[in-house]
Amino acid sequence: MNAKRTITLGIFIVLTLGVVLGRFYLNIQNEHWDEKRVAVEKAYEGSMMTKASKVDFFYGDAAYQIVYGENKLGQRLIAWVSDQEVHTEITDEAFTEEQARAAVMTKAPSSEIERVMPGRLGNDYVWEVFYKTKDDRGTRYFYDYYAFKDGTFLDTYRLSLQ
């Protein structure tokens, strides 16, 4: 009987811990999910977007929520949403993520791309490509920026060796 009581108590503790951790996770994530929801609503109100599929966060000189979606004609759009503005581009008329990746791989063939996302550099809407290269001295990280519309190379930020 003592073993049965111990097992029951153990199950109760595990279930209680699961519920508490689940609620903790939901409380932490709610703010993040609310930011995404608000960004999608702003994109719908401030652009031709009628369907959103994904939201990313870009932190540069100003913070932007990057909303990926479509208009009512099925054209793919990307919206940059900030506190002050909503800017939208049709992706079929722009330099693509794949082209930005290819530009970096042409420039630095031995690099490893970590992330590619739309962003803003100064007054330009851009593709930001974050990548790393390894050499005898260590690993160095870079940010390359390409104009979103035509792929013009704009700048490279080089981070210190690690």
pLDDT digits (tens, 9 = 90+) for 45-101: 888 899 999 999 999 888 999 999 999 999 999 999 998 899 999 998 899 999 999
Residues in the chain: 162
Mean per-residue pLDDT, 25-40: 75
Given this model, what pLDDT does residue 9 score? 82
Q: What was the pLDDT predicted at 103?
A: 95
CB atoms inside a 10 Å sphere around CB 12: 10
CA 82 to CA 60: how far, in whole Å? Answer: 12
* 6: confidence class by pLDDT, cuts 50, 70, 90: confident
**Rounded Cα gap, residues 129 and 143, in angstroms:** 6
Q: Buried b vs exposed e over 51-62: b needs ≥16 C-beta within 10 Å?
A: ebeebbebeeee
Q: What is the pLDDT of residue 35?
A: 81
- Name the residue ranges covered by the structural domains of the chain: 2-90, 97-158
pLDDT in tens, 91-127: 988 999 999 999 999 998 989 999 999 999 999 999 9
Residue 102, H or E segment: helix 97-107
Domain 97-158 CATH assignment equals 1.10.10.10: no
The pLDDT of residue 28 is 73
CATH for the stretch 2-90:
3.10.450.40
Q: Is 96 helix (H, G, I), strand (E, B) or coil?
A: coil
What per-residue confidence (pLDDT) applies to 162? 58
Whether the pLDDT of residue 22 is over 80: the answer is no
3-state class (DSSP) for residue 57: strand
Same-fold call for 2-90 versus 97-158? yes
Of the candidates 129, 126, 155, 158, which has an alpha carbon nearest to the alpha carbon of residue 142? 158
- Sign, Cα dihedral of 133, 134, 137, 139: positive
- Rounded Cα distance between 27 and 12, Å, is 23
Q: What distances in angstroms separate CA 78 from CA 13, 115, 154, one per listed residue?
A: 47, 17, 20
| Strand-by-strand arrangement of the 124-135 sheet | 112-121, 124-135, 138-147, 153-158
pLDDT above 90 coverage of the chain, percent: 56
